[in-house]
Structure 1
Amino acid sequence: MQLIACNTKKDYKTIFNDSKLYSNTVHELNKVVMGNNFSPIVASRNYLYANVAAYEVIAAGYPNQYYSLAGQLHGLTTVPKPVAGKTINYEFSALMAFCTLGESVTFPEGSMDDYVNSLKKLAKDHGMPSDIYENSLEYANSVSKVIMSWSKKDNYAETRSMERYNVQAEDPSRWVPTPPAYASAVEPHWNKIRPLVMDSAAQFKAPPPFPFNITDKKSAYYKQVMQLLDSTRHLSDEQKHITEFWDDNPFKLNVSGHVMYGTKKFSPPGHWMSIVGIAAEKAKADYATTVFTYTKTAIVLFDSFIQCWNEKFTYNTVRPETVINRSFDPDWQPYLQTPAFPEYTCGHSTGSSAAAEALTSVFGDNFAYTDSSELEFGIKNRSYKSFNEAAMENTWARFYGGLHFHPTCLSSNKYGKEVAQLVDERLHMKKTGK
């Protein structure tokens, strides 16, 4: 738990009207997500509902600046309005709603209790009147109940009991589990999750991948295998840094002899949640703008993962590691650990381009920033001239890591951007511009 160090003389209005406090709260959820080993796609669901709950509180508190998402996101029909005459601190209330949804969507009850209690103590210690305190909690609870009810109708629970992925090892073009964990395919039914803005999981169809062909040296498939194999055998220190920076493996299984242990990092959507906070701080965004930006980014990440997972389990393409070990070099290993789902398309490149597009829509193109998200994992910072430059670097990171062919990453970047552009066109959030 980590709250902003603050002057005890500041009153509660000043304390809670600080966008850094909201970013700290998102980071707290990030740590809980990481600690529970959730896959990137499941993590995107946590960030989505938590941020939407907070956004709805802020939209109610700033009705001249923001629209509710009710009637705009699929299945969200109405959100309760504040009771007339009751004074609410909307910033504090938004934090309470965020934490309620953040832990309740997937986690066991009580995952964020210590942090929530610290926020409540912050309110009391800085003079929040008891009626405003109670009104704020009451409104957060009323919004949270509606968002929670809405979340339970997105088919997540139903997909928990659907059949597991059918491995067909006799087909060399089809995905099979990879070392060292040889884990089952992650979320093969995610395309059945209710999208937010897209009409369906299949609205944006990527073209088919290159036909599997490892015998014809002139074929596009053979050439992309050779490109990856040659490049990964000669990675520069800079390429390794790029690869490690965008690894974002939420659970890497390390194997040394008979000893196995896991190491954790933020997942891809968690990494982009951190980038939102970095950008908001650099732009000196106010509290409401910060919540809006996190929410818009969470929405595009959520829908982009649905789009990507539909492609993955439509084509079920084999990973480079499997192809190379079987037919070219049995001793070759990718620089990064291969995740447990098909190769085409790339989830990280899809989500990164979608998030970059959302952030560009808020802060503009050519927004230079330094990403310090990975410092807590011992990986030095990287700087970018724009969010889109960062997303394009990601397409190389997944290639250098040996996880994806580069044409896959480029296609993924294109369709992630298209998902984000649809969100930008259809959603009305700010009353002065997008």
Structure 2
Amino acid sequence: MKRLIMGLCVVLGLYACRQSDEYKTYLHNPELFSQTVHELNTVVMGNNFPPMVAARNYVYAAVAAYEVMAFAHPDEYQSLVGQVKGLTKVSFPSADPKADIELAALLAYMKVGESVTFPEGSLQTYKDSILQLARNKGLPGDVEKASQLLADSVSASIIRWSKGDNYLQTRGAEKYTVKDEPGRWVPTPPLYGSAAEPHWMEIRTMVLDSASIFAPPPPPDYNITDKNSKYYQEVMLIKNAVDSLTDEQKHIAEFWDDNPFKMNVTGHVMYGSKKFSPSGHWMSVIGIAAKQAKYSYAETVYAFAKTSIALFDSFIQCWYVKYKYNTVRPETVINKYFDPNWRPYLQTPAFPEYTCGHSTISSAAAE
């Protein structure tokens, strides 16, 4: 009988260990973090945030997760305190060895992601499903509690920091004034939307000294009457290129078509369709790249944080240039001077032409 009892104890002990390892295997999988980023991506898309606002959603959430990992691995990752503008302190609770760092990073990402994305509680169902599955796999209550405490402490610091970036102040800023001046941007068909975020250059940067630190050369002088002018030649280059696109070029264009809200027109019927913004597209790219590179959980979090910061700052710099020059879109010029029915292959977004937003932020992300 004694041997039987001892045998049962051994079996139960092994089962308990297996259960413990099972929840860790689930929560420590870096693909779970990438999946959570994708979930926030879906919420952002559903709420039709413009691309630069979407970048703000991602960056604060990613920094929160990164700060948890830096707290746990100070020899490998340095806190961003003092490295990014305005972040002077991140508070942590008393060290508790029960806290699961990967779970805490995930919870911090979701909590901050919700705080800068409406509606409130948009990730709650997803969060509940993760925790319930982890509990089913043996997540102890004290580990969950300690992890949540760590996540909440870090999240509170990041949320407080985020509120100082001038975002709320720009919500009530003066609207863009549409003027009928040669070469100046005006709304384009079919939506004729208002200028997107004309004050985004006033948002606090993360690492750039200012929005104007990198000054590209000005666009060519507006001159559509002289066929020898650089401006005329560039407009015709665009028109001819669109008119002769190959199937491969169309496929490439469609892959990078990240217009978060496209207005579709069929006869007298108009309806909108949504898709990931350029920021969201790059979040997906990072998830795929991290998986292919077999990144650890911490490395995956680092990749998302670094890329999110690059996207965030590059949007601010790009928008400074866009609204400095207020360059008219080629579609407007071609419709007025060459063909009133001409349309680009992809729908023109609602902001000035120069410099190219997608090229700017994609170059930053790819670095």
Shorter-chain-normalised TM-score: which range? Answer: over 0.9
Q: How far, CA to CA, are the matches of 1:64 and 1:131 in structure 2?
A: 27
Please tell me whether residue 149 in structure 1 is matched to residue 160 in structure 2: yes
Please tell me whether residue 52 in structure 1 is matched to residue 63 in structure 2: yes
Q: How far, CA to CA, are the matches of 2:96 and 2:215 in structure 1?
A: 50
- Tell me the secondary structure at the aligned position of residue 204 of structure 2: coil
Please tell me whether residue 158 in structure 1 is matched to residue 169 in structure 2: yes
Q: How far, CA to CA, are the matches of 2:48 and 2:225 in structure 1?
A: 39
Q: How far, CA to CA, are the matches of 2:20 and 2:86 in structure 1?
A: 44
Check conservation: 2:93, 2:153, Cα contact below 8 A. no
Check conservation: 2:58, 2:308, Cα contact below 8 A. yes
Please tell me whether residue 101 in structure 1 is matched to residue 112 in structure 2: yes
5+ residue gaps, structure 2 = 1-17
Please list, as runs of the form range in 1=range in 2, the aligned pairs for 1:21-420 lying within 5 A after superposition: 21-169=32-180, 171-357=181-367
Cα shift at 1:8: 7.9
Task: Work out which structure has the larger RCO, using CA pairs closer than 8 Å and 6 or more positions apart in sequence.
Answer: 2
Q: What do the CA deviations read for 1:341-384 (whole angstroms, capped 9, x no partner)?
A: 00001111101000000xxxxxxxxxxxxxxxxxxxxxxxxxxx
Q: How far, CA to CA, are the matches of 1:82 and 1:65 in structure 2?
A: 21
**What is the percent sequence identity of the aligned residues?**
61
- Tell me the secondary structure at the aligned position of residue 11 of structure 1: helix
Check conservation: 2:114, 2:123, Cα contact below 8 A. yes
Q: How far, CA to CA, are the matches of 1:16 and 1:63 in structure 2?
A: 21
Cα shift at 1:63: 1.6
Check conservation: 2:45, 2:274, Cα contact below 8 A. yes
Please tell me whether residue 18 in structure 1 is matched to residue 29 in structure 2: yes
Cα shift at 1:19: 0.6
TM-score with structure 2 setting the length? 0.93
- Tell me the secondary structure at the aligned position of residue 75 of structure 1: coil
CA RMSD of aligned residues (A): 1.3
Q: What do the CA deviations read for 1:382-427 (whole angstroms, capped 9, x no partner)?
A: xxxxxxxxxxxxxxxxxxxxxxxxxxxxxxxxxxxxxxxxxxxxxx
Check conservation: 1:39, 1:267, Cα contact below 8 A. yes
Q: How far, CA to CA, are the matches of 1:324 and 1:8 in structure 2?
A: 66
Check conservation: 1:155, 1:192, Cα contact below 8 A. yes
Check conservation: 2:67, 2:79, Cα contact below 8 A. yes
Check conservation: 1:55, 1:94, Cα contact below 8 A. yes
Cα shift at 1:120: 1.4
Cα shift at 1:122: 2.3
Cα shift at 1:153: 0.6
Cα shift at 1:9: 8.6
Q: How far, CA to CA, are the matches of 2:153 and 2:95 in structure 1?
A: 14
Q: How far, CA to CA, are the matches of 2:46 and 2:53 in structure 1?
A: 13
Check conservation: 2:66, 2:301, Cα contact below 8 A. yes
Cα shift at 1:143: 0.6
How many residue pairs align between the two structures? 350
* Letter aligned with residue 187 of structure 2: P
* Letter aligned with residue 317 of structure 1: T
* Letter aligned with residue 292 of structure 2: K
Q: How far, CA to CA, are the matches of 2:19 and 2:176 in structure 1?
A: 55
Check conservation: 2:20, 2:138, Cα contact below 8 A. no
* Higher alpha-carbon Rg: 2
Residues 245, 314 of structure 1: alpha-carbon distance in 2 compared, 3 angstrom cutoff: same
- Tell me the secondary structure at the aligned position of residue 153 of structure 2: helix
Which residue is equivalent to 1:416? none
Q: How far, CA to CA, are the matches of 1:153 and 1:33 in structure 2?
A: 21
Q: What do the CA deviations read for 1:206-226 (whole angstroms, capped 9, x no partner)?
A: 110000000111111011011
Check conservation: 1:123, 1:133, Cα contact below 8 A. no
- Tell me the secondary structure at the aligned position of residue 238 of structure 2: helix
5+ residue gaps, structure 1 = 1-6, 358-434
Cα shift at 1:106: 2.8
Cα shift at 1:84: 2.5
Cα shift at 1:17: 1.1
Residues 8, 324 of structure 1: alpha-carbon distance in 2 compared, 3 angstrom cutoff: farther
* Letter aligned with residue 53 of structure 1: A
Q: How far, CA to CA, are the matches of 1:156 and 1:164 in structure 2?
A: 15
More divergent stretch after superposition (83-92 vs 108-117) = 83-92
Q: How far, CA to CA, are the matches of 2:176 and 2:52 in structure 1?
A: 16
Q: What do the CA deviations read for 1:192-248 (whole angstroms, capped 9, x no partner)?
A: 000000011111111100000001111110110111111111111001001111001
Check conservation: 1:201, 1:306, Cα contact below 8 A. yes
TM-score with structure 1 setting the length? 0.79
- Tell me the secondary structure at the aligned position of residue 260 of structure 1: strand
